[in-house]
Structure 1
Amino acid sequence: MRIALNARILQAPRTGIGHYVAELVNALRRDTDIEVALFHGWGWSPAVPEAAMPGYSRLTPLLRQIPGAYQARRWLEQKRFDRGRTQGLDLYHEPSLWPLAFDGPTVITLHDLTHLHYPDTQPAARLREIERRLAAGVQQARLILTDSQAIADEAASHFGLPAQRFVVAPLGVAERFGPREPHRIDAVLKAHAVLPREYFLCVGTLEPRKNLSLALRAHALLPETVRQRFPLLIVGMAGWQREQFSAELHQALASGHVCLLGYLPDEQVAQLLAGARALIFPSRYEGFGLPVLEAMASGTPVALTRASAMPEVAGAAGNYIEPDDADGLRDAMNRLIDDQAHWQACREAGLRQARLFSWKRCAQATAGAYRQAMGG
């Protein structure tokens, strides 16, 4: 079977969906008999790019200021996509929101319904495009892949579709995530002036949905001596409307106990996860929560909210807190510092939980959805 997969998101710096596309394509090629043709927005290529397109981060904000830019880009992409039809494609997989037009079977991946719950996390022009095209894309798809059962249930209810239209294919863990000896992460930790297991880490795009403010408030509630010994490191690129919490962030940065590291290469993130005391992941809504899985696979405990799909990922290994409970998160952080037996139990439970997930299993479930869609 030869499938077309829209890999345009790989032009951007890698975040959740970008990692999903890259890891899925590699696993499909390695672990199944599926042949994958990649559409990169400007044309077709079999290669999975190693890095984002130069200038992408500067180009995207510019497009938001141009009236009709999304529609014009979409029209151009459709024209270029159609040129690939000479390749004898059996099925089209759209891994991010709305699909391009295709006269054969279509499968889409619906990672979440963030635009319904947190429309302020999307630029206005993009939100209009989502609202205009997503429902049609869902109807176009013979099958809809989701990362979690929570999103499958939510989408089935929202769109009024039967459960049989959905296939849950949980995400996996890249090989770079795993426990590491201190000497293997020493250089990165020294570069950020921290010691092994003596810092907390947040990973994710800086946007209101990620609820970074809770992590900042909880960390600020720790005693001064504890904050000095266990600083909070924040890894992630600027998201939409970051200014909503910028005053709080600036105050935390001024304290000297919070460090904003920005977007880091994948290997550095993996090393920081392996050395952290815990990952703090207070997000209000996730279709999966990939950093949670990556932290557990690295042998690092996780403090997280019990929202949306995240309990499916963390299971019994999570330290769960309410999304507005700064005192509760502070207490969880204190316990992960003071109670070594609890920390070790969380570490071992997380390693066991992470073994339930792999990109091979995700690829095999996805390949099964392709075959089901072809047979439908």
Structure 2
Amino acid sequence: MRIVLIGNYQPDGQESMRRFADMLVEGFGRAGLATETWLPTVFFGALVRQTTSGLGKWLGYLDKWVLFPLVLRWRTRGTARADHRFHICDHSNAPYLPHLPAAQTGITCHDVLAIRGGLGYADAYVAASRMGRVLQAWILGSLRRAERLAAVSHFTLGQLNELTTPATPAADWRVIHNAFNARFWPMPADQAAPLLRAAGLDLNQPFLLHVGSDLPRKNRALLLEMAAALGSRWAGLICFAGAPLEPALLARAEALGLRQRVVAVASPAHETLVALYSTCAAFVFPSYSEGFGWPVIEAQACGAPVLVSSVAPMPEVSGGAARHADPDDAPAFAAAFLDLLDGPTRQALVQAGLANCQRFEPAAMTAAYLDLLAIPVLTPSPMLQPASL
């Protein structure tokens, strides 16, 4: 049995999708299966410095949507045998489905946010250009062809089913939760201290933590509103890890008198991220829309108390081991945080979070994908044991 994973166009820089593909490669390898990854060839895109806008974007489209389908058809000649399986790692590559053997091909749907944004749904918090709307409609139409599909949450599968139904009535569409795509653990304070110091954090001050991009749906400004609602009851720092701070966020911090308490850690290295999760006063994730929400379980695995949006799928992912509030209700987030200043309450939430993380072990995800792709496990079960979290 050989598994071929279809990955993303490298110049697009979709790091989370690369890590997801790597997870599958590692898991299938532990199951004793030969696995390889096919990526769209960078041919026309090599003529420019970047392929995310302007002429470069159109050259990237030629590579992804004209050249690579031809490559797929050529490479699958003679390989579409019963002992081969193909899996498209990202639903945005659904237009490749017609170029692969349908009964032997699966696909993962991570979210339908861009699709819904292209259809005009405001609650997706994803804007779409005219070309983007055309592309997302193409992606949605292509997803209908999937005979084997994994959605990363019940919420995502529900949204997909609302938009379309499988073209094949006997299609197998199911939920397979994501697993951890790296090791996360409660880092001891003495190990975290030098990493935090290097990141510019004052070790004598507690901090709230947000991890993510500057996309509007991430709702980073709520942490500022939350800190303002806390007032004199809590005077710690507000740390944003991930994307650099956008001007509007800095302006709001200035207006609230919080600018001196805001700390940015742009693109932290993995160990620094673990140190941040492990030592924060609380991890705050007030997102308006997600397909899964990896940071929720990453924070839980590091022993952080989690305050998260009440919008689906966050409760599904948190497993009830988080405090949930309306993403527009800063006082509710502030009140939930004040509750966590009680030691036993905080510790109970942390322990519940650590227990919840067991649902997302890599071995469980691997076994579920093997079942989706109808691949018998030929190796002893210890081969599917996960790496330590």
Instruction: Classify the TM-score, shorter chain.
Output: 0.7 to 0.9
User: d(CA) in 2 for partners of 1:196 and 1:28?
Assistant: 45
User: d(CA) in 2 for partners of 1:108 and 1:207?
Assistant: 26
- The code of the aligned residue for 1:319 comes to R
- What's the CA shift for 1:318? 0.8
Report matched runs for 1:113-262 at 5 Å: 113-115=112-114, 116=116, 117=121, 121-122=126-127, 124=129, 127-161=132-166, 165-174=172-181, 176-191=183-198, 192-195=200-203, 198-224=206-232, 226-227=234-235, 230-237=236-243, 247-248=251-252, 251=255, 255-262=259-266
User: d(CA) in 1 for partners of 2:307 and 2:125?
Assistant: 25
Q: Deviation per CA, 1:75-97, whole angstroms, max 9, x where unpaired?
A: 13334444533682523211212
Residue matched to 2:367: 364
Q: Where does the alignment leave 5 or more consecutive residues of structure 1 unmatched?
A: 44-53
Equivalent residue of 1:109, what SS? strand
- What's the CA shift for 1:177? 0.3
User: d(CA) in 1 for partners of 2:249 and 2:259?
Assistant: 16
Alignment counterpart, residue 334 of structure 1, candidates 331, 335, 338: 338
Alignment counterpart, residue 92 of structure 1, candidates 86, 100, 105: 86
User: d(CA) in 2 for partners of 1:206 and 1:213?
Assistant: 10
Q: Which stretch has the larger CA shift, 71-80 or 306-315?
A: 71-80
User: d(CA) in 1 for partners of 2:171 and 2:203?
Assistant: 49
Preserved contact between residue 86 and residue 106 of structure 2 (Cα < 8 Å)? yes
User: d(CA) in 2 for partners of 1:245 and 1:103?
Assistant: 45
Residue matched to 1:3: 3
User: d(CA) in 2 for partners of 1:196 and 1:289?
Assistant: 30
- What's the CA shift for 1:65? 6.0
Preserved contact between residue 111 and residue 287 of structure 1 (Cα < 8 Å)? yes
- The code of the aligned residue for 1:179 comes to P
Preserved contact between residue 286 and residue 327 of structure 2 (Cα < 8 Å)? yes
Q: Which stretch has the larger CA shift, 291-300 or 124-133?
A: 124-133
User: d(CA) in 1 for partners of 2:72 and 2:253?
Assistant: 42
Report matched runs for 1:26-105 at 5 Å: 26-30=26-30, 32-42=31-41, 59-61=50-52, 63-64=53-54, 68-69=58-59, 71-73=61-63, 74-85=65-76, 88=79, 90-96=84-90, 97-99=92-94, 100=96, 101-105=98-102
- What's the CA shift for 1:264? 1.7
Equivalent residue of 1:296, what SS? helix
**Higher relative contact order (Cα pairs below 8 Å, separated by 6+ residues):** 1
- What's the CA shift for 1:265? 2.0
- What's the CA shift for 1:218? 0.9
Q: Where does the alignment leave 5 or more consecutive residues of structure 2 unmatched?
A: 376-389
Preserved contact between residue 202 and residue 233 of structure 1 (Cα < 8 Å)? yes
Q: Whose radius of gyration is greater, 1 or 2?
A: 2
Preserved contact between residue 209 and residue 240 of structure 2 (Cα < 8 Å)? yes
Equivalent residue of 2:156, what SS? helix
User: d(CA) in 1 for partners of 2:131 and 2:34?
Assistant: 32
Equivalent residue of 2:99, what SS? coil
Preserved contact between residue 70 and residue 126 of structure 1 (Cα < 8 Å)? no
Task: State the Cα RMSD in Å.
Answer: 3.2
User: d(CA) in 2 for partners of 1:125 and 1:22?
Assistant: 33
Is 1:302 the counterpart of 2:301? The answer is no
Equivalent residue of 1:184, what SS? helix
1:209–1:270 distance in 2 versus 1, CA, 3 Å: same
Equivalent residue of 1:274, what SS? helix
1:179–1:172 distance in 2 versus 1, CA, 3 Å: same
User: d(CA) in 1 for partners of 2:29 and 2:197?
Assistant: 38
TM-score scaled by length of structure 2 = 0.81
Equivalent residue of 1:356, what SS? helix
Preserved contact between residue 197 and residue 277 of structure 1 (Cα < 8 Å)? no
Preserved contact between residue 187 and residue 274 of structure 2 (Cα < 8 Å)? no
Residue matched to 1:286: 290
Q: Deviation per CA, 1:198-256, whole angstroms, max 9, x where unpaired?
A: 211101111011111222211232225723xx2111112369xx667564366579621
- The code of the aligned residue for 1:72 comes to L
1:10–1:306 distance in 2 versus 1, CA, 3 Å: farther
TM-score scaled by length of structure 1 = 0.83
Q: Deviation per CA, 1:160-200, whole angstroms, max 9, x where unpaired?
A: 34796312111112452011211221111112223388211
User: d(CA) in 2 for partners of 1:122 and 1:18?
Assistant: 24
Preserved contact between residue 205 and residue 237 of structure 2 (Cα < 8 Å)? no
Number of matched pairs: 355
- What's the CA shift for 1:103? 3.5
